[in-house]
Amino acid sequence: MSRALKPPRWPLWGALLLLVGALLAVLIFLAAEYEVGRDQAALDQDATTVVGEIRSALLRNVQTLQSLNAFSPTPASWDAPAAELLAQRRELVRLEWRDTDMRVLAQRLSAYRPDVFDLLPRGQALPEVRQACDAAQRLSGPAYSASYFWPKRDGRGLEVMELCLPLSEAGESRGFLIATYSLPAMLAELTDAVTLRGRGLSFVESDGARLAVHSVVPVQRRTLSAHALLDLPGHTLLLQLESPRRALGLFPNVLTGVVGALSLALLAVLYLLARDMRRRQRAEQRAADALAFRKAMEDSLVTGLRARDMSGRITYVNPAFCQMVGLTAEQLVGSGMPAPWWPPELVDEYQQRQAVRLAGQVLPREGYESVFQRSDGTRFPVLIIEAPLIDAQGVQTGYMSAIIDLTEQRRIEELNRASQDKLQATARLATVGEMASLISHELNQPLAAIASYASGTLNLLHQGGGRGEGDSDGDDGVSDDIERAIRRIGEQAERAGRVIRGVADFVRRRDQVREAVEPHLLIEGISTLLTLQAKKRGIRLQVDIAPGTPRVWCDRTMVEQVLLNLARNGMQAMPLGDPGTASGLRVLRIAMAPVMGEAGEPGEGRCARWVRMDVTDHGQGLPPEVAERLFTPFFTTKAEGMGLGLSLCRTVVEQHGGALDFEPAQPRGTRFSFTLPVAEASAARPVETHAF
């Protein structure tokens, strides 16, 4: 049997070649037309730009001409500025100042064209001047005449145009300012030479006749031309811009055709490779499934993964690692040493450790701890476990690292440590409470005895120690002093007992006895102790109680102790020799004032729910490290202190429902402030400022 003959394929190849040839021809034609259209659009845009430049220059000239007569109101003073203006504006041929009857008051010719009006007198151009001035009167502004040809002696001529500018002063006409423009000079002086390089520029009429020519292009078969209207008040000029057409570049268009032909050839190749592509697609699908499975596993990990080559350059990171350091995978992959997550102060140490690892001295597999830095500058501890990265040929190509963020673990450890510290502090507070109870129990009896002895002495003085007839006046004074001293002993002993009972109640967490207390009574209870300490330290004690300050609901003894403690601390913050205020005095100020409520004035006391008490010193202030731990129990800056004073003061104020805080005072020092609740049935009474 003879094998069946296959149909010849040359007709198909011939059709393909014809199609490619047609496509190439179409591409060349379209490319040529596109280039012509692009060049024409660019030329039209340049013509519009040139017209805009001429219009802007003419407008600036009008503004300059308006200022000419404003600064030169007389014909005698007008000549010099006119000559200077003509020297600066070469497009102007002549300037005239005419009155309302068109009589020339002053005139000036351009130094660059002094022979323009030698052949014919200036009066021959009077019709064009009148035309421009009539238009200017109608428009109430500058107007231009139609251009006209003015002959010269050498047989040539000049196309000129008149500008008429009405002049007025205080609403009365002062005549007209006539400016004669040279159209060729306008093209030369009012346009950009860079834009016109290699191009032709001229003013033409509607039929194509040229009125003024600045430059021409060589006569060629291919020339592009663009027209633009220069619309002026009273007259319109037509500007023509010509440019030689660039030679058609054949190579880029042929290249476009070749690309098209190759595209068609590729379609045929794709048909022949369809079977191989299907096989490749199936293999790629299996590889993509495996890659997606591995990717899903890596993305689900909370452990950061990082792969590096033997030179230390990163080749792979997973999302968990990117989230740790706050950088994207694009920012990390390809980066080397120093790594962007290394803290700046540890770069040298980390580089040395990296050099040891790259030298073959691999760290143990159990890993090591380190510190990384996020992109926002925060530091966090990590555990790094590294292993060699081996390729399919058994060659080590780098290192694979597993990074675990230890921030949460460290936080839990810190919480445990804080709990231990808190338990220890609680145990110490319990010890202090026991000690306070013991002191309270032991000191109540001697204090009670002191109070009894003081009362007995007073009774003896009143009953058996009265004065006889022979007593002198000096004995009277001594008796009074003894009586006053013994009264003070009794008062202070009674106060000490109240303080100790209050401390014992505070330690046992009993409810203190609270009452409505006038603000000034809180100061009077401790004024003697404060005055003595202030005089001893050379400090002026100042108490300011705002008028209308209401009574407060508090445990008087405990609040007095808070004020006394804060005042003592303020005095100790102003040692001897320390500069005081601007007046040179060292002042401790205690102030009391109501805090305004939701409505009403603070002084009325009706809407004030709190009374604020401030204790202000003028010492050196508190350093930041001391201010952070100021209310921490057992923290003190004094060699003999226990660190419980301010902590107990804050506890007392908070038990009353208020708050104790501090802030820097101006210009120096510290202000401690706390609030106490206002008594429900308070009767505000104004109290003046006291100074001790």
Residue 641, helix vs strand vs coil? coil
Q: What are phi and psi of 402, to 5 degrees?
A: -110, 120
Cα–Cα distance for residue pair 446/10, rounded to 1 Å? 132
- pTM of the model as a whole: 0.38
Same domain, 150 and 182: yes
pLDDT at 30 over 70: yes
Query: pLDDT, tens digit, for every residue of 42-65?
Result: 888 988 999 999 999 999 999 888
Same domain, 674 and 543: yes
Pairing of strands 200-204, 172-182: unpaired
Same domain, 237 and 372: no
| CATH number of the CATH domain containing 425 | 1.10.287.130
Same domain, 432 and 381: no
| Sign, CA torsion 206/210/214/216 | positive
Strand order in the sheet with 223-232: 210-215, 200-204, 235-244, 223-232
What are the beta bridge partners of residue 400? 307, 387
* Range of weakest confidence among 52-56, 329-333, 479-483, 598-602: 598-602
What are the beta bridge partners of residue 608? none
> Which residues, in sequence order, are CB contacts of 143 under 8 Å at separation 6+?
132, 133, 135, 136, 163, 164, 233, 234
Give burial (CB, 10 Å; 0-12/13-18/19+) of 182.
Answer: buried
Query: pLDDT, tens digit, for every residue of 618-633?
Result: 888 888 877 777 777 6
User: What is the pLDDT at residue 611?
Assistant: 93
Q: What is the mean pLDDT of residues 503-529?
A: 74
Same domain, 58 and 196: yes
Q: What is the mean pLDDT of residues 403-416?
A: 81
Same domain, 119 and 193: yes
What are the beta bridge partners of residue 201? 215, 241
Same domain, 455 and 354: no
Residue indicated by tokens 């346009």: 191
| Sign, CA torsion 324/330/332/338 | negative
User: What is the pLDDT at residue 580?
Assistant: 57
| CATH number of the CATH domain containing 376 | 3.30.450.20
User: What is the pLDDT at residue 687?
Assistant: 38
| Sign, CA torsion 254/259/263/265 | positive
32 within a domain of the structure (yes/no): no
623 within a domain of the structure (yes/no): yes
213 within a domain of the structure (yes/no): yes
Cα–Cα distance for residue pair 137/134, rounded to 1 Å? 5
Binned at pLDDT 50, 70 and 90, residue 605 comes out as very low
Which tops the pLDDT comparison, 227 or 410?
A: 227
Same domain, 355 and 455: no
Q: What is the mean pLDDT of residues 162-180?
A: 87
Q: What is the mean pLDDT of residues 658-671?
A: 87
Same domain, 342 and 445: no
271 within a domain of the structure (yes/no): no
Q: What is the mean pLDDT of residues 226-230?
A: 90
Q: What are phi and psi of 372, to 5 degrees?
A: -110, 165
Average pLDDT of every residue of the chain: 77
Which tops the pLDDT comparison, 621 or 131?
A: 131
Q: Which of 405, 425, 445 is the last residue of a domain?
A: 405
pLDDT at 287 over 80: yes
Same domain, 123 and 233: yes
Q: Which of 353, 382, 405 is the last residue of a domain?
A: 405
Q: Which of 210, 235, 259 is the last residue of a domain?
A: 259
| Sign, CA torsion 257/258/263/268 | positive
pLDDT at 224 over 50: yes
320 within a domain of the structure (yes/no): yes
| Sign, CA torsion 643/644/649/650 | positive
506 within a domain of the structure (yes/no): no
156-168 b/e with 16+ CB inside 10 Å = b?
eebbbbbbbbbbe
Same domain, 595 and 680: yes
- Token pair, residue 55, equals 């219009």
634-665 b/e with 16+ CB inside 10 Å = b?
ebbeeeeeebbbbbbbbbbbebbebebebeeb
Binned at pLDDT 50, 70 and 90, residue 485 comes out as low
| Sign, CA torsion 631/633/639/641 | positive
Same domain, 617 and 534: yes
Q: What is the mean pLDDT of residues 77-101?
A: 89
pLDDT at 192 over 70: yes
The domain tally of the chain equals 4
| CATH number of the CATH domain containing 568 | 3.30.565.10
27 within a domain of the structure (yes/no): no
> Which residues, in sequence order, are CB contacts of 208 under 8 Å at separation 6+?
none
| Sign, CA torsion 453/457/458/462 | positive
283 within a domain of the structure (yes/no): no
Residue span of the structural domain in which 299 resides: 295-405
